[in-house]
Amino acid sequence: MCGPALPLVAAGMSMLGTGVSALQANAQANYQAQIADRNAAMEREAAQQEIANTQQEALAHYRKVAALKGQQRVAAAANGVSLDFGTAADVLASTDQLAREDTKRIYETGNNRLRSRDINASNYTAQASADRQAGTGALVKGVFDMGSTALGGVQQYAALKDAYGKKPVNLLTGTPFG
């Protein structure tokens, strides 16, 4: 017959379960932190690619504008028109102005895409930090829960041990009969 030792065995089993749960919660939180770190790194890589894409788009635009201006010069020269004044000069000035506006739009769009990537990377980094803190919190909580379970088991053991010698005890409830 187990007698008063039964609460100690139950407390030990409960402590073991609590410890395993705390370790599992910590491992899960650390795994989630690793995933968030990887996602942040991927966002940073994508941000670098956005910068390169914006530069390539701007270069392609510069080339198109240069080709257009060349066509305008050839057309004006073929018609015997000087590019220094008048309508031909106005057309070239308009082309330059529109080209600058388009270039500005290209860079603004690229900066907005880059900003989005930066925000995502920051969010993933914050998530990784929160996950690590949650893992540490799970371990700390597990230690306190194990201690609480141990104290409860010791109290039950002491009460049963004291009562066991005096009167018959109901092992299911831990209370003395009679």
Number of compact structural domains in the chain: 1
Looking at the domain assignment, is residue 173 inside a domain?
no
Looking at the domain assignment, is residue 174 inside a domain?
no
83 SS3 class: coil
- pLDDT digits 0-9 by tens, 131-147: 999 999 999 999 999 99
Looking at the domain assignment, is residue 148 inside a domain?
yes
CB atoms < 10 A from the CB of 35, how many?
14
Looking at the domain assignment, is residue 172 inside a domain?
no
- pLDDT digits 0-9 by tens, 22-67: 999 999 999 999 999 999 999 999 999 999 999 999 999 999 999 9
Question: Residue 175 has what DSSP assignment?
Answer: P
- Could you tell me which residues are beta bridge partners of residue 176? 169
Looking at the domain assignment, is residue 64 inside a domain?
yes
Where in the sequence is the domain holding 50, given as residue range(s)? 3-164
What's the pLDDT band for 1 if we cut at 50, 70, 90?
very low
Looking at the domain assignment, is residue 177 inside a domain?
no
Distance CA 89, CA 85 (A): 5
pTM: 0.70
Looking at the domain assignment, is residue 58 inside a domain?
yes
